[in-house]
Structure 1
């Protein structure tokens, strides 16, 4: 099995990982949606896609949801939590959401900004002094000796929007990628199995050590000059704990998870909840190979540190509550969780002036606090996706939100997510026609 699993790394290239972001921009809805909410079923096309993709030779189980303004989401869940775990998959099953952690970290940072405890354009070195004098590669992913001093300091805005110049071990190539791996600067955790090269090495222990080592790595471009997927949101975890005076995971619990009623979201799964954790699969030539089973998952262990870019486990019901907080500008169940200013600013375009956003399997988008911000016909759509097949988005103009939860890597190995996107658009259009 190890030989098969090691082959998965070649599929986890930069295009595979970056393409997930496009799936978070699913188009917008038009006025009149509230009237359509009375329909007994609001996502028949999504339901059909879920049912099509669950079964022998396909997925063991899937969960999708669509939520209308001010209402509980409607969920469709089919199948089981794994091929050998026959517990039915439900909206309360646990999934590795990977990079869907980034918008959560982003909004936590925006709350500190709204409270005046740090500023969007504040230099990072004022909080983490070791980042004051950064060196930059003369050529992106080039030599480690052809360097120049950064033209400007890294800012908080740049960390949030992947424009800081900080690299990413799952994106970079060549000697800088090798250096990041050597230093243990890797993107989260995947499996207990000895799979050489899947994410290349064991991470360093502790956010403080992570930040110190990352400061020793040259930047891959000058801060504020381009967009490139990065470890900026992982570093933001260290920024948050320094500014707030709390461990990063404790800050998230106190600031977002507990007040929002997100009881199943965290960086570690308790042994008592292992029976709800789904199995994660690697896809090798269309075959599902289990790489992290719930009962023996690596997520039962305490992580090396709370990965603000890729570390959370959550349930579809929990993550929908986070989306509701955003859609309702910081409130849920009549209680304020985040400042309205934090949500409005964090879900808007935060890119530095003159820097184009990513073009990821679709039109160029803007970028906010850890998530893609749609432009044009997708204006107002904020969201992101995870490396194991989870996607979540919220329409900040019309107040609806949607998700799909699967567990397979790489998530572009199968056509599930594009089919979900098309089905969601069809359901939205059908609602509008009935409105």
Structure 2
């Protein structure tokens, strides 16, 4: 049904995030004029038509899209229900599995510690987690795990944030190293109570501390700082945050970001009292959608083996828009400072080590910040990432524009929904400009 999370996320990033970034980067001369559109009653007529076209029998049960511009509350377009067998209407407060859209949250949490001097971007990881002092590296990427050499430089905090640490990912790696990680329980995510061949196989280790210790025993797939390879770096960052802050990772996110930002619907474990808001996730078999994780019996209602900083959060469109809006406003929302401006500006900027490039399948011709892709050239100021079950969130930090789409199906490139959404979003934004 689903081959690997790697293909899911690569396809999402290539076909959705990159294009959404391009459409947001409409040009510095035009974008400030969006602030003049605050009085328009409907910002998204074309997006609304796309959502309505894709929701219904034989399509998707429900969907939410949004656009936020300066000087007004975000406009949400919501149609349908939270599942084919769930009659509750989908809304901006429905709960969705956001998977790798967790990475920017974890990244920004780390950047706050950097701004406070509790972490350094180029600080060696072993200063916080001593087991990472003497790492071994595969001589050949995804090759034998017996042919190794000592790492030529230490892993740093920058490397963890930008997928340049050389740490592997069970959804990316192949061969012996993938098998080794799975045997050690280095499974950095969950999908369903059902066993889905090829995805998150193995029994995950329990506890971030144990996860970090076991991951240190696995060879790196590349020397730190030399190659961009999608990784469990943001999951390991959860343990780094615990050590640097003296708090549990989940508590740190709640106390540092979620509560001050007014994000009341973002969880690693969905409370039973909120189960009624949780959507159903589907696997796409051709044109047929098969439920793989229902809202009423979701695996996300259980306590996870550990808080997955790379793919573990459930959130609502309203909540995640608040996160993006806070970033767009340099760490402020509703008159309250959540993150230091320095943390936001650095984290949404290009943090890639010199000479490292992103593979085309993950966005190419771009930079990478704290857990998210960063636009260059005409896309300068665009920051965001996507999730493996059909969610995308991005922000233009220069012009305070942010946009999202939330749906639940895997793989997200099974149909042409996301490219259609991108085209409609661009049309709506251009129409707003032409009115002025």
TM-score normalised to the size of structure 2? Answer: 0.96
| In structure 2, C-alpha distance between the alignment counterparts of 1:14 and 1:293, rounded to whole Å | 23
2:13 corresponds to: 21
1:404 corresponds to: 405
1:4 corresponds to: none
| In structure 2, C-alpha distance between the alignment counterparts of 1:426 and 1:223, rounded to whole Å | 42
1:3 corresponds to: none
Secondary structure at the counterpart of residue 69 of structure 1: coil
| In structure 2, C-alpha distance between the alignment counterparts of 1:18 and 1:303, rounded to whole Å | 25
Secondary structure at the counterpart of residue 58 of structure 1: coil
After superposition, the CA RMSD in angstroms is: 1.2
Residue 361 of structure 1 and its aligned partner are, at CA, apart by 6.6
2:301 corresponds to: 300
2:41 corresponds to: 40
Structure 1 runs not aligned, ≥5 long: 1-7
1:427 corresponds to: 428
C-alpha contact (below 8 Å) 2:92/2:317 kept by paired residues: yes
1:357 aligns with 2:350: no
1:393 aligns with 2:394: yes
TM-score normalised to the size of structure 1? Answer: 0.96
2:163 corresponds to: 162
1:69-80 aligned at under 5 Å gives the runs 69-80=70-81
Q: Which runs of 4+ in 1 moved over 6 A?
A: none
1:302-338 residue CA offsets vs partner (Å, 9 max, x unmatched) = 0000000000000000000000110000000000000
| In structure 2, C-alpha distance between the alignment counterparts of 1:96 and 1:193, rounded to whole Å | 16
The farther-off stretch of 183-192 and 28-37 is 28-37
C-alpha contact (below 8 Å) 1:358/1:366 kept by paired residues: no
C-alpha contact (below 8 Å) 2:5/2:199 kept by paired residues: no
When residues 253 and 362 of structure 1 are mapped into structure 2, their CA distance, relative to the original with a 3 A threshold, is: closer
| In structure 1, C-alpha distance between the alignment counterparts of 2:243 and 2:73, rounded to whole Å | 36
1:321 aligns with 2:322: yes
1:4-403 aligned at under 5 Å gives the runs 8-10=1-3, 12=4, 14-22=6-14, 23-25=16-18, 26=20, 27=22, 28-29=25-26, 30-360=31-361, 363-403=364-404
Residue 197 of structure 1 and its aligned partner are, at CA, apart by 3.6
Secondary structure at the counterpart of residue 82 of structure 2: coil
C-alpha contact (below 8 Å) 1:349/1:367 kept by paired residues: yes
Q: How many residue pairs are counted as aligned between the two chains?
A: 427
| In structure 1, C-alpha distance between the alignment counterparts of 2:82 and 2:417, rounded to whole Å | 17
The farther-off stretch of 222-231 and 26-35 is 26-35
Structure 2 runs not aligned, ≥5 long: none
| In structure 2, C-alpha distance between the alignment counterparts of 1:144 and 1:256, rounded to whole Å | 39
C-alpha contact (below 8 Å) 1:21/1:372 kept by paired residues: no
Residue 141 of structure 1 and its aligned partner are, at CA, apart by 0.5
Secondary structure at the counterpart of residue 360 of structure 1: helix
